[in-house]
């Protein structure tokens, strides 16, 4: 049934159907994506090679497909890829001929050869799910920096640490570093040049890495799968103050005014609140659905995904990793 949605331009009628989304991958993260897509009113068609995972959909409003070819017959408006990263490149190549927009989980690919193979599709509607680009706290940080509230930015530090990872086809660099590189681009409009990287390796696999980007400002990144406490902190130091986002779950920044002559007895922490009623995942999925309805393309396009991939490869070279 056609529905009328208001408000609209005078004399215009806005009609819409629920967007039909093909979700490929129903693992830990795929199930979260499905939850939010259903919440946003999408009609969901799901494919996964794991039959047990698909059996868990029985009580959900989801159409299950046991082969990719069957999913492709559903005539979806767009596709979301939430499979292991090692399968992303192959799936994108398979979906491109369908001519429908694609939203693929990060990392886009896991080596230079795959990135090169996707460069031919830069004019296609392929977008990467770089979730932190959509986080309201990152947007708030960017606004503080742009407003000059902390003066000239000198230093940024990001800590992204936890204990192990469910993603077994990736090391900690491919798994965690894309987040911080996208945050860097969101804050400064570009990825600062990688200058230094050193990695903690276990049996040839990176479990933790320290990265330095840029010079003035410089950006220090600490990623690790060796912290038993989860850390997701971003702090920005300026000539006139410091601003901190403690983790992804809170609704405020902490702001401390003070230059190089500041004294401890005058320390005052102010809270700068932002709207965090919706998760970053829901916001980015909304952006994709709105695009499918004729709206603005998500900012995290294929070009951005390849930039992030090239920066990761540069960091791996600096850290002497294959």
Considering the domain architecture, whether residues 138 and 274 belong to the same structural domain is answered as yes
Same domain, 151 and 269: yes
> What is the model's pTM?
0.91
pLDDT > 70: percent of the chain: 94
- Residue 14, pLDDT > 70, answer no
Q: Is residue 104 part of a domain?
A: yes
Mean pLDDT of 218-228: 97
Q: Is residue 5 one of the residues assigned to a domain?
A: no
Q: What is the pLDDT of residues 305-315, one digit of tens each?
A: 999 999 999 99
In this predicted structure, what is the pLDDT of residue 204? 86
More confident of the two residues 6 and 206: 206
- Do 200 and 243 share a domain, yes or no? yes
The predicted model gives 57-79 an average pLDDT of 91
- Rounded to an integer, what distance in angstroms lies between the CA atom of residue 155 and that of residue 184? 11
Residues 270-294: tens digit of each pLDDT = 999 999 999 999 999 999 999 999 9
DSSP assignment of 276-298, as one string? -SS-HHHHHHHHHHHHHTT-PPP
In a domain, 10, yes or no: no
If asked whether residues 314 and 181 sit together in one domain, one would say: yes
Q: Are residues 22 and 126 in the same domain?
A: yes
* CATH classification of the domain holding 263: 3.30.360.10
CATH code at position 75 = 3.40.50.720
Q: In this structure, are 238 and 295 located in the same domain?
A: no
Same domain as 273, residue 155: yes
Residues 255-270 pLDDT 10s: 999 988 888 888 899 9
How far is 106 from 284, CA to CA, in rounded Å?
13
Q: Domain check: are 171 and 216 in the same one?
A: yes
Q: CA 182, CA 304: separation in Å to the nearest integer?
A: 9
Q: Provide, rounded to the nearest whole percent, the portion of the chain with pLDDT above 90.
A: 84
> Is the same domain home to 72 and 205?
no
Is residue 6 domain-resident? Answer: no
Q: Is 8 inside a domain boundary?
A: no
> What is the four-CA torsion angle of 290, 293, 294, 299, rounded to 10 degrees?
30
> Average pLDDT, stretch 31-48?
96
Residue 30, in any domain of the structure:
yes
**Which tokens belong to 48?**
């996964």
Residue numbers of the domain that contains 289? 17-130+283-300
pLDDT, one tens digit per residue, over 97-138 is: 999 999 999 999 999 999 999 999 999 999 999 999 999 999
Q: How high is the pLDDT of residue 169?
A: 86
DSSP 39-69: HTT-EEEEE-S-HHHHHTTTTSSEEEESSHH
Domain-located, residue 1: no
Q: Is residue 305 part of a domain?
A: no
- The average confidence (pLDDT) of the chain is 92
pLDDT attached to residue 5: 40
Alpha-carbon distance of 46 to 320, in angstroms, equals: 39
Q: What is the DSSP string of 145-203?
A: HHHTTT-SEEEEEEEEEEE--S-TTS-HHHHHHHHHHHHHHHHHSSPPPEEEEEEEEET
Q: pLDDT class for 166, splitting at 50, 70, 90?
A: confident
- Structural domains of the chain, count: 2
- Would you say residue 13 has pLDDT above 60? no
91 and 21 together in one domain: yes
Residues 126 and 137 in one domain: no
Same domain as 274, residue 142: yes
Match 């900690």 to its residue by tokens.
172
pLDDT score, position 16: 61
Strands 153-163 and 194-202 come out as unpaired
């Amino acid at each position: 049934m056609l529905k009328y949605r208001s408000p609209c331009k005078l004399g215009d009628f806005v009609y819409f159907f629920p967007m039909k989304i093909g979700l490929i991958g129903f693992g830990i993260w795929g199930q979260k994506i499905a939850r939010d897509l259903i919440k946003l009113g999408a009609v969901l068609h799901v494919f996964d090679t794991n039959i047990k995972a698909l059996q868990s959909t029985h009580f959900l409003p989801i159409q299950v497909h046991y082969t990719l070819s069957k999913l492709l017959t559903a005539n979806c408006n767009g596709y979301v890829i939430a499979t292991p990263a090692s399968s992303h490149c192959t799936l994108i190549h398979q979906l491109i001929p369908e001519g429908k927009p694609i939203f693929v989980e990060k990392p886009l690919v896991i080596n230079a050869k795959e990135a090169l193979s996707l460069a031919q599709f830069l004019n296609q509607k392929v977008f990467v799910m770089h979730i932190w680009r959509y986080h309201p706290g990152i947007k708030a940080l960017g606004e503080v920096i742009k407003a000059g509230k902390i003066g000239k930015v000198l230093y940024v530090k990001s800590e992204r640490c936890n204990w192990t990872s469910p993603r077994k086809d990736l090391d900690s660099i491919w798994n965690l570093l894309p987040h911080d590189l996208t945050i860097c681009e969101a804050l400064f409009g570009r990825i600062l040049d990688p200058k230094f990287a050193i990695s903690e390796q276990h049996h040839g696999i990176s479990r933790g890495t320290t990265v330095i980007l840029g010079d003035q400002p410089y950006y220090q990144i600490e990623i690790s799968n060796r912290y038993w406490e989860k850390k997701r902190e971003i702090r920005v130091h300026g000539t006139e103050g410091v601003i901190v986002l403690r983790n992804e779950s809170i609704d405020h920044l902490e702001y401390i005014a003070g230059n190089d002559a500041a004294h401890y007895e005058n320390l005052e922490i102010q809270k700068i609140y932002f709207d965090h009623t919706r998760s970053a995942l829901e916001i980015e999925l909304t952006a994709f659905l709105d695009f499918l309805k004729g709206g603005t393309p998500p900012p995290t396009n294929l070009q951005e995904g390849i930039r992030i991939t090239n920066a990761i490869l540069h960091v791996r070279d600096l850290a002497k990793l294959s």
